[in-house]
Structure 1
């Protein structure tokens, strides 16, 4: 999973926040899983301003990479192509578990022109990133022909890696449905996804409010507000990334991950996340906790999820109350 807040090659900008939020919204829709995968890569094609996108999945029986979904003028023809696991840039990415892009394919030894010849298509630039489930590569996500001068950039690579995590999640959903999972297993999956969906909804509500504050602050050149709100947005984008991993692993028992940290810092994050919503709904958030509580060991992800759900439910309960307030 990509760490958006600490990417070494590119520093995330406010405009990128909306792309990640929309990806999360797509993952939270109740559409058929095959349709979900196609909808995701359609969205990636549009926002990344490329001519086409494709998902290649590894077939362990054939030991081949097979085009499972694609966009663009040659999408149907492309689905007939089968690649060796060491063929072309897709094969290189699959073998090395590394993302890459090339804006000069004629001089890139990793590029194979066989697919272009078969589809009668001309690839000028290409970006590819592995689809990962834990430490296993299940396939490759590709974008071709960037519609911008100079081709692909490091920003594109950062966003592509984040998108690939959601593509991998959609692929895993397809596999789970196709395996005739038992009724009890399906019930457990539904309960887990429903709980995560509720948590994601609360995070997105806060992020959308934060995005509004950032846009307003940038317009007014209020850099102090941007510096205050942006770290909160980055932390919660990272939480959504971690949630995507949780959803990929929902069939496994997850042991608590204890680290020594501050309870007050988690509470402060919750308050910042709901500040915009509180102003919009005229809800007063009051704090009544001891900020001097020493650091202790707890699972911050689960603690954050628990408190976020509690505060989110409190907002729902305040809708029909005059002069409502929530105390933490």
Structure 2
């Protein structure tokens, strides 16, 4: 309904002016002023009524828009379905031809097209804009709407996508999607012809934007709750597994694999501190790359993980490839990793190592993530400590067993000394017994320093050769000694037998060979193939007596060699003379299984 000026009043005014000539001017003038005032008041009242009517129509349209938006939101269950429904509502309510909804990605660096009108729908998920790029990116950065009525493609902020046929559209209205004053995306509408966007259109699109923001926020909260539930379930499973397992390698490998899978990380690793060398050593990783697994140990205090371990605090990095303190940027580039969180493994105030979590893309580790990773790290540290205690307990039991066996061996050697060494002086007998006990001690020392189960024969020969030479070589003798051969490993039981054999053969070579001549050479040569091991002690100097048979000799050392070689090592012993005396012990590389 439109109000028109009062025709009767106007007719009265015309008649009144026509009759002015016949009436007195003084009498008519006040009446004329009153009539003119009434006319102005009437016109103003009509203008106000017109404004109120327009506002009422806008409010009715807005109510209708909200009703339609609510219906669209309420009828859709999936986010994508809701966004597509709101696109259709926006087109109908604003009377435009195109509508696009962009949402920020997880890292809040790019706007991704998530919903569009039917024409642009094939490009959903493919069109990306950096924040600040294009008109849409500018709206996201500035948090305020933009309306361009014509030639929007000539705007200095415009970014052209040929596949979107954007030059066909003249106008654009873009509104930010805000939640708690934080941008989560942008919605825009366009028309083919130039168009001045009314205040009502801006308000309607703003209402749609608010609804879209609410939908997205609710969806994200739901996803966070689902992800949190899954992560808590994973934490529970990891905790249960590591609490029931005493094998350290299995614990750590399970930890990195499950953490990478549950949290969606590219690579997870665990590095433990080597207290003796002050290094971080890689113990488990979810990466399959040989180059990554072969990374050298990391000194404490160096790189990101070294600092986290040394300082006992959590460190996060947005991009390791660009961080000046990250040591392996080249490997990171090849592996395709970007952000890093280093979580110290701590228990009882002591740092045992670090849990490193890498992502494939730039990522901001949330407080919730850090809290979860810290809980995992604490459980892992407790499991590592329990495993180490279990290992120490096993070591003590094993060492007790070995000490008992070796004491029995020492007792047997002393009985042999009493039986065969009656012609020796007390000093000689004691020195020989001391060297035999020291050779057993060398094996124990190497086991405690390097490995619980295996010993390097070459290192063993080096140690025994040095010890025996220091005992039996008089001052002034010019004798060269050395060990040749590969790094061959033997189990602890056979290593003890080999140590005693080497002690006797080296002592005989030094005492009866080069010792008698005052100069010469003693050399231990180690060789092995796929089946047998050969250990040969060679010496120059005084040769063997003619027709010497070690099996008929009453020499205690040779009796020990014979008994250990044939009894414990299941091998053979050959002693040959000439310019160089050779004492060779050979046995199978792999021991026969016990029946």
TM-score, with normalisation over the residues of structure 2? 0.27
Greater radius of gyration (CA): 2
TM-score normalised by the chain length of structure 1: 0.47
Relative contact order higher in (CA < 8 Å, ≥ 6 apart): 1
